[in-house]
Amino acid sequence: MNPKQKKKLLKRARSQRTAKPSDYIATLERYNSLFSHFPAIKILINNVLQADRLLKQGLLPQTLPQLLLPDDTQDVIFKTLNETFPAGDPEGDQQWNQLSDALPDLDKKLRSFRDYLEETYGMWAYISAPVAKDLADFVNGRPALEVMAGNGYVSKGLRDNGQTVVTTDSKDWTKENETGKHPVTKIEQLSASDAFTKYQDQVDVIIMVWSPDGLEIDWQLLQQIRAADKDFDFIVIGEKNGATDSKAFWQHAELLDTPEVKALNKHFNHFDLIHDQIYLVK
């Protein structure tokens, strides 16, 4: 199985789970204390905890590093304990067992942060405050329309940066997961196609984030945009031929490679196996 197929299957499996990881943050807080003498580990954990604190306050989080434990983590722990405790010291052995036993679960928790965001906040694309600022700089005062907005994190970020945006979502997914259940800004209930039909004469920028893979609503929207008598900037956030958007969309989308695209992705970091990014599509 190639990596893209694996990621898509993992995404589908995640979307089928209904139980919330209620102990996720509590466990990471415990690990933060347990690994308090290991800065490389604490940095990763603290990034996750800080992102969660900001989201709980209704704020956009900051950018994340790649949430992977360094390859030499176990060696560093062993060396540190050897330098701290004499050979055969029971306390040193106890700490080694406790830390090394916790590492697999810590690694799993860090790698599954996106799962936590999806299941707790309905946040699929990780929209940080710096990314929102980059998007706002690109929009630069032009009226925008966000379709399939979910809980509205992109629109919130644009509004926080002084931009005017119409935010829409069909709200079809509220019975399936947390999408649409925790709106962070005002959202009008419209499908992507109906939203474009209604607002195309009032906006200059169209934004689509993490359109569901396998559903050709994105391809339908792209055809509507192309058929319009107006030249729109169409911003798409997703993983090409991966976890998001339909096969037809990626086959037909013309992806621009411009300085503006590079600027839009300046702060769009990859922190896990999903390599989504920001595209300008024609």
Question: Coil, strand or helix: which one is 14?
Answer: helix
Q: Please state whether 34 falls in left (phi above 0), alpha (psi between -120 and 50) or beta.
A: alpha
Among 92, 41, 98, 30, smallest CA distance to 71 is for 41
Average pLDDT (98-119) is 96
Residue 9 binned pLDDT confidence (cut-offs 50, 70, 90): very low
- Cα dihedral sign, 107-109-115-118: negative
> Which pLDDT score is estimated for 19?
40
> Which pLDDT score is estimated for 91?
87
Residue 272 binned pLDDT confidence (cut-offs 50, 70, 90): very high
Residue 88 binned pLDDT confidence (cut-offs 50, 70, 90): confident
List the chain domain ranges. 22-111, 129-281
Contact 209, 238 (CB under 8 A): yes
Contact 217, 208 (CB under 8 A): no
Average pLDDT (214-219) is 94
Output the CA angle 33-124-61, nearest 5 degrees.
50
> Which pLDDT score is estimated for 18?
38
**Stated pTM of the model:** 0.87
Phi, psi (rounded to 5 degrees) for 278: -100, 130
The lowest-confidence range among 3-7, 74-78, 133-137, 190-194 is 3-7
The lowest-confidence range among 173-177, 194-198, 219-223, 230-234 is 173-177
> Which pLDDT score is estimated for 93?
87
What DSSP element (H or E) covers 99? helix 90-111
Instruction: State yes or no: pLDDT of 8 exceeds 50.
Output: no
Instruction: State yes or no: pLDDT of 11 exceeds 90.
Output: no
For residues 27 and 30, what is the distance between their CA atoms, to the nearest angstrom? 5
Residue 70 CA to its chain's centroid (Å) = 22
For residues 111 and 114, what is the distance between their CA atoms, to the nearest angstrom? 8
The CATH code of the domain at 129-281 is 3.40.50.150
Instruction: State yes or no: pLDDT of 13 exceeds 60.
Output: no
154-202 pLDDT, tens digit per residue, is 999 999 999 999 999 998 765 555 565 679 999 999 999 999 999 999 9
Q: Any idea of the CA torsion for 119, 15, 253, 165, to the nearest 10 degrees?
A: -30
Average pLDDT (194-214) is 96
> Which pLDDT score is estimated for 169?
95
> Which pLDDT score is estimated for 21?
55
Residue 90 binned pLDDT confidence (cut-offs 50, 70, 90): confident
Average pLDDT, the chain: 90
For 235, residues 6+ apart whose C-beta sits below 8 A from its C-beta are 135, 138, 205, 206, 207, 208, 264, 278, 279, 280, 281
> Which pLDDT score is estimated for 182?
79
Residue 214 binned pLDDT confidence (cut-offs 50, 70, 90): confident
